[in-house]
Structure formats: structure tokens, C-alpha cells
Amino acid sequence: MSVFVGKDTRLIVQGLTGRQATFHTKIAMEYGTNVVAGVSPGHSGETVMGIPVFDTVADAKNATGANASVIYVPARFAADSIMEAIESDLDIVVCITEHIPVLDMVKVRAFMKAHPKTRLLGPNCPGILTVGEARLGLLPTYIHKKGHVGVISRSGTLTYEATYQLTLAGIGQTTAVGLGGDPVKGMDFIEALTAFNEDDDTYAIIMIGEIGGTAEEEAAEWIKANMKKPVIGFISGRQAPPGKRMGHAGAIISGGKGTADDKIKALCAAGIEVADTVAHIGETAVRVLKKAGIYEKCHTAE
């Protein structure tokens, strides 16, 4: 089992003819991802690494029965590509592109309301990887190990860092989900936590947040009310100078919340153990798993 993507994923790559897309699609295929189509307008009829290319997402879906898409399209066209994928009612759309204008994403979110079936991950995210089954995006494959811990993070490199610390400690993973760092985006912590909570193969979850917004605080409330499994937390940005990242009007809406201290307090209040530094995420996980009596089940040394 896994969350969001796995053996049954039939993947479209939007922007497949681009350099970054080709590079990462090759790694994804070597990892076992079932890539069924590429979309690059004006390139229909061509093939890239044996993958048929279509002009539109609708054509690609009709011809191949695809149910997922990953988008590597330049920022000025990316919101349009996201809406095209959402309109085809795929199960999941993952957008890697960074620097998409915020107001473009505001339109995307409004558009999504008419297509509730599709989940959006990103933009500006490292993607998602289900260990040994599918890789959509940029996550390095060698840092993973099959197991029973789910990873959710707003940051790319912190996803890798946390995952690798787990692997080195002998703790394997089910799926790693990189939510992305943009202010207006698709999937948030609660959507990913819900999926891991329902996944029988996942026994515990690592959740990595950062300053800005109130998604971590809301996730903490949700965990307190619904979560059946241990959660280990980490928040980056304790030393961030206020106002450098978010304009003060943004802070008005969130009621002055959004600092690292607020988030850590909210997580602790929900009974979540929070690693004190980025170097201690793996150790903290081991300690929590032992306390919960599931360390042996999660330790998947081969």
C-alpha cells in the first residue's frame, strides 16, 4: 500500500521534451514508474525514450488511460498546464515549476472547485515518491528504503534530509510527499495526513513545516482530533527575521500567527514530539517509535 501514487499510477509528463523533464523522467522510469505519455504542444506523433508524445492532456488521457500527471513547464505557462490537467479529471497532478505568479495560482484554485476529483501537489515542490513503486518529480531515489513511515514536508531538501536520516537509522518509508513552499498551492498537510492515517502500511508520520501561514497550526488541531498514529515534527525558521518573507498584511489575516514558535507550541499541544534541530529528526523519530512500541515493526534493516 501507499498514498496518492504507486504501482497503479499511469503517468503523463507535461513538458516532456524539455531538458529537466527528460532527465527526471529517465530516472523515474529506471525506478519503475509507469510513464505512459508525454504532452508537448506541437510534438504529437514523436516519442521520447519510447514514450508517445501528444499535443494535449485530453488526447494523452484518451489514448493511454493515464490517471496522473507531473508538470515540468516554465513558470509563465505552468498555471495554464495545471488547469489543463485538472480539466481532464486525473487523480493527481504534481507541479514542480517554481516562480509561478501568485495571482495565476489564485485562478487555478478557483478553477479546481469545479473539478473536485483531482488532487494538486505543488507548485514549487520536489514531488512525491512511493518507495519502490513510483517517482513523480525530483526526489533522489537512493535516500529511500521501503518501510512504514510516511514523510510530509514543505521543503525539498528537508524532505531529503529527513528521509535519509530515517534510512540511515534503519527506518524505511512508505511515501514521501513534498508539499512545496508557495503561498498559494494545492495539497496541504491535512490532506496528506488524512491519506497516511488511512493507509494500513504507514505506522507513523514525519511532518516538516516552516514559518509562514497557519497550515501547521491547523494540522496540529486536526492531528489532535483524528490521528491514530504517532507523528514526529520539525519546524524550520526559528531565527527568521519577521517581515523578511511575508508582507505584514499577510500576518493580519492569520492574526499575527505563523512564527516558528507558534507552530512548535501548536504541535507540542497536540502531543507531537518536535525535533530541536534539523540534525535530530532521525533520532527523534527513533525515540518516538520506541515509546509507541512500534520501533521493531518500523525498523526494516535488510
Q: Give the residue numbers annotated as catalytic, written as ranges.
A: 248
Q: Per CB under 8 A, which of residues 254..283 are in contact with other proteins?
A: 254-256, 260, 276-280
The minimum distance between CB 245 and other proteins, in angstroms, equals 9
Total residues interacting with other proteins, rule: CB under 8 A: 62
Specify the residue, 37 or 95, whose C-beta has the smaller distance to other proteins.
95
Counting contacts by CB under 8 A, is residue 248 touching other proteins? Answer: yes
Counting contacts by CB under 8 A, is residue 79 touching other proteins? Answer: no
Beta strands in the chain, from DSSP E residues, in sequence order: 11-14, 35-39, 47-48, 51-54, 68-71, 92-95, 119-121, 127-130, 134-137, 146-153, 173-178, 204-210, 231-236, 273-274
Specify the residue, 253 or 269, whose C-beta has the smaller distance to other proteins.
253
Q: Per CB under 8 A, which of residues 112..131 are in contact with other proteins?
A: 126
Q: Which residues contact 284 (CB under 8 A, 6 or more apart)?
A: 232, 234, 273, 274, 275, 276
Counting contacts by CB under 8 A, is residue 180 touching other proteins? Answer: no
Q: Which residue in the set 47, 62, 157, 226 belongs to the binding site for other proteins (CB under 8 A)?
A: 157
Q: Which residue in the set 28, 85, 149, 208 belongs to the binding site for other proteins (CB under 8 A)?
A: 208
| Alpha helix segments (H runs only) across 184-240 | 189-198, 215-226
Give the whole-angstrom CA distance, residue 175 versus residue 138: 14
The minimum distance between CB 104 and other proteins, in angstroms, equals 8
Q: Which residue in the set 7, 30, 49, 109 belongs to the binding site for other proteins (CB under 8 A)?
A: 109
Q: Which residue in the set 243, 261, 290, 297 belongs to the binding site for other proteins (CB under 8 A)?
A: 243
Q: Which residues of 74-91 are buried (b: 16+ CB within 10 A; e: fewer)?
A: eeebbbebbbbbbebebb
Q: How would you write 13-58 as a 3-class SS string?
A: EECCCCHHHHHHHHHHHHCCCCEEEEECCCCCCCEECCEEEECCHH
| Number of neighbouring beta carbons within 10 Å of residue 19 | 9
Q: What is the DSSP string of 59-73?
A: HHHHHH---EEEE--
Interface pattern 7-46 for other proteins (x via CB under 8 A)? ----------------------------------------
Task: Using the structure block, give the residue that is written with the C-alpha cell 511515501.
Answer: 175
Counting contacts by CB under 8 A, is residue 238 touching other proteins? Answer: yes
Helix (H) or strand (E) holding 282: helix 281-291
Q: Which residue in the set 143, 152, 205, 232 belongs to the binding site for other proteins (CB under 8 A)?
A: 143
Specify the residue, 27 or 292, whose C-beta has the smaller distance to other proteins.
27
Give the whole-angstrom CA distance, residue 160 versus residue 163: 5
Q: Which residue in the set 39, 187, 215, 219 belongs to the binding site for other proteins (CB under 8 A)?
A: 215
Q: Which residue in the set 133, 161, 199, 216 belongs to the binding site for other proteins (CB under 8 A)?
A: 161
**Which parts of this chain interact with other proteins (CB under 8 A)?**
75-76, 99-107, 109-110, 126, 138-140, 143, 153-158, 160-161, 164, 181, 183-184, 208, 210-215, 234, 236-241, 243-244, 247-256, 260, 276-280
